[in-house]
Structure 1
Amino acid sequence: MHHLLPADLAQTLADISTARLSSYQNFFSPANDEELYGLYCWNDAVSSRYMRLIGILEVILRNRLHTALSGYAWNHHTSNGSQDSNDWYMKLYRPFTGNSTGDRTLKKKIGKPATPTAPNKVIASMTYGFWPHVLDKTLDNNGIVVPWDTLIPAILPGHHQRAATYWGVQAHQDALFARLLLVGDLRNRVAHFEPLWKFGEELSETRDRAHAPRTVVNPAPTTIPDSLQRLQLYYQRTTQLLHWLSKGRAADYSESENHQTLRWLMSEDALLSFRSLPGHGEIRLSSLTKGWGLKGELRERKFVVVTDKKKAVGRYYREPS
C-alpha cells in the first residue's frame, strides 16, 4: 500500500499520461499534482486488492462449472476423462460455428483431434468472459435441454435458493448472468488499469430481453460519497457471489487481511489519506517497542507509516467506523 511521493512527480504523471489522469482531474478536482498522484495511487491500491478477491472467485467459479457440466456430460454423452473432469465442452460447443466467443476460444484451446488438450488445462486457460455465456447453452449437441435448474444449485451450493423450480425460472438465471457479468466488468477494469471507482448508471440485475430490457436503478455517481457507495455495493455483490460458490472460502476471506484492508480503502477516510500526500503520520519502529507517544499518534491519525532508518517498513490504518 505504498503511496509516498515519487522522486520526480512531474515525470511520473507524464508517464501515466494526461489522458489516463483526466477522469481523476475531472471528477475529484485535485488542488495540485500531489493530490492527483495520491488519488491515482488510491485507485491502484483498491484495484490490486480487488483483483485478489476476483482471483479467488474466478478459480472457484470455473471449477464449479467444470465439475457440474462434467457430471452432466458423463451421464448423457460419451466423454473423454472422468465423471468429475471431462470434455463436456465438446458436447455443448461442437460443431464450432465461429459465431460466438466461446466457439472461437475453445477451438484454439482444445488442440488437435489426435492430441487433444487435457480438460483441466482447457478449463484453466479459458478467460473469465467465457463463463457467464456458458449459461447461453440451452441445448446440447444431441438436442437435449441442458438442465440448468438442477446444475445451478450444484454450482452455487451456498445460495439460499436450492430448488430446481426456482432456477428453472428464466428471470432467476438472468439475475445470475448479470451478477457474473458485473464481476467480469470489474475484473476487466482492473486488468486494463481503468478507474475502478468510475461508474455509469446502475442497471437492474437482469438480462436485456426484447420484452423486458434492463432498467436504470440509480444514476451515475456525481459525488465522492456516491462513487464510494457504489464501489461498496459492488464489493458486497462480489463477496456475495463468492459466498454462493463456497461458504467456506467466503468465511475465510471475510477474516482475511485483504478484506479488512479493502474495507478501509473503500472509505472516504482512505481516499482523503491518499489524496493528502504526503500528509500522513510517521512513527519510528523503535517507538513501537518503547510505546513513546504511540496512543496519541494513532488516536489522531487515520494513517501512519512506520519507519526504520528512514525507510517505510509498515503501515497502520484505522478501520472505518
Structure 2
Amino acid sequence: MLKHLTAPRLATIQAFFKTQSDKDILGCYAWNQAVGAGLLPILGDFEVSFRNALHRALSQHFGGLDSYDWMMPRPNPAHAVNPAAPALLPARHKLNPKSKEDVNSAMSKTKGKKPSGYVVTPDDVVAALPFGFWEVLISGLSHSSQPAGLQAAILAAVFPHAPNTLTVPYGDPAFRKRVLDLLKRFRDVRNRIGHHDSLWATPEFNCLGALGLVPRRPRHTVNSLKLFADNVCWFAGWIDPQISAYIKNSDHWWSLQALLHRQALVTYRELGGVVGTYRAILDSAELPLRSAPKSLRKPQRKFLERLVANRHFY
C-alpha cells in the first residue's frame, strides 16, 4: 500500500508521528482513517438536526408549516395568460446566485433519480443540499434585501437553547458570527475526512469558534480531536439538549472515545492497522455502564455486564 501513497503524504506522516518502520507508518495512516470513520456519524447527527431545524424555522416563517418550499422557484400564474411573462417566480426567501444554483442542482438530481412526472418536494431539496448552502444562508439572514428582524426570528427558532443570548441576542451580528465560525470548524474537519486528509493537524478552537493550539505532537492530536467531538455535541445542544444526550449515549460516541486514546494510537502503530486492530481497541476499552440509563431492565444490565466481563463487546 505504501507505494500507492504519494511521497509528500508519507513524509507528512513520518514527520509528525516520528515513525520507525513501514508498519508504523501504516498504523498511523489506519488510525487516522478509523478516527475519521468514527467522527462521521456524530457530524452526520449534527448536520441532519441542524439543516432540519433551519428548514423548519424558515418553513414556519414563510408558510406556517414544518416543511414549505421557501427555497424553490414558484410557478408564475401570469405566464399562462401572457407567455412573455417569466414561467417561474423567485423563491420566497431571497437567495444569492450560488445558493439558487445549489437549489436547482438539488432539484435536477432528485428528478434524475425519480420516475417521470415526479414532483420534487422541499424535503427532497433539503436532503440534497450541501452543507455550505446552510452556512451561506445564515450569513445572508441580515442582508439589507431580507425583511427586518429575519436573523433574530430564524436563529431563535433554530437555536432555542443557545447560551448567553441575554448579552449577545439572536439578532446581534456577533451571534451570527459565532454560529458561522463554529460551522466553519465542523466543515473543515468534515472536508478533511472526505478528502482523506490529515486529521492529526486539526486545531483546537474555543466556544466562539476561535482557533487555538495546532497539534505539534500525537498527544496534542488526541486532545484536539476529543475537544472537537465535545464541541460538536455541545453545539448540537443549542438546537435541543436531547440531541447531545442521544449522541453521547450511542455506540458511535463510545467507540470514538476508545479510538481517541493514546493507547489506541500505540496499538495501531504496533499492529500496523491490520485486521483485528480496531477490535483489539474496543476489547480493551471499558463499556461505561455507569452512564447507562437507569431505565434499563435488569436482564439488559446483566447482559452488558457479561459482555464487559468477557471483553466481547465489538
Calculate the TM-score normalised by the size of structure 2. 0.72
CA shift digits 1:147-191 (9 cap, x unpaired): 222322321234345669721221122111111111111111111
Does residue 221 of structure 2 align to residue 264 of structure 1? Answer: no
CA shift digits 1:263-315 (9 cap, x unpaired): 121111111111111699x9xxxxxxxxxxxxxxxxxxx9874xxxxxxxx95
In the superposition, relative to structure 1, how do residues 115 and 263 fare at CA in structure 2: closer, same or farther (>3 Å)?
closer
- Could you tell me which of 37, 42, 46 is aligned with 1:53? 42
1:1-321 → structure 2 map (5 Å cutoff): 12-74=1-63, 83-89=65-71, 90-93=91-94, 98=97, 101-110=98-107, 117-138=120-141, 143-161=146-164, 166-199=169-202, 205=208, 218-277=212-271, 305=280, 315-319=282-286
Q: Greater share of strand residues, 1 or 2? A: 1
CA contact (8 A) 1:91 1:141 kept: no
**For 2:137 and 2:41, how far apart are their aligned partners in 1?**
24
CA contact (8 A) 2:45 2:247 kept: no
Report the Cα offset of residue 145 of structure 1: 2.3
In the superposition, relative to structure 1, how do residues 107 and 146 fare at CA in structure 2: closer, same or farther (>3 Å)?
farther
Identity of aligned residues (%): 23
**For 2:177 and 2:214, how far apart are their aligned partners in 1?**
23
CA shift digits 1:106-161 (9 cap, x unpaired): 2323459x986311111110011111111122368975225222322321234345
Report the Cα offset of residue 203 of structure 1: 8.0
CA contact (8 A) 2:94 2:145 kept: no
Letter of the 1:122 partner, please give it. Answer: V
**For 1:303 and 1:55, how far apart are their aligned partners in 2?**
22
CA contact (8 A) 2:142 2:151 kept: no
CA shift digits 1:190-241 (9 cap, x unpaired): 11111212135858836xxxxxxx7xx5342212222222222211111112
46-55 or 136-145, which deviates more: 136-145
CA contact (8 A) 2:59 2:67 kept: yes
Letter of the 1:273 partner, please give it. Answer: T
**For 2:143 and 2:270, how far apart are their aligned partners in 1?**
57
Q: Secondary structure at the match of 1:91?
A: coil
CA contact (8 A) 2:31 2:265 kept: yes
In the superposition, relative to structure 1, how do residues 142 and 223 fare at CA in structure 2: closer, same or farther (>3 Å)?
closer
**For 1:91 and 1:279, how far apart are their aligned partners in 2?**
52
**For 1:276 and 1:229, how far apart are their aligned partners in 2?**
21
Question: Comparing both chains, which one has the higher relative contact order based on Cα–Cα distances under 8 Å and sequence gaps of 6 or more?
Answer: 2
**For 1:273 and 1:69, how far apart are their aligned partners in 2?**
48
Q: How many residues align?
A: 261
**For 2:149 and 2:233, how far apart are their aligned partners in 1?**
28
Unpaired runs of at least 5, structure 2: 72-90, 112-116, 289-314
Calculate the TM-score normalised by the size of structure 1. 0.71
RMSD: 3.3
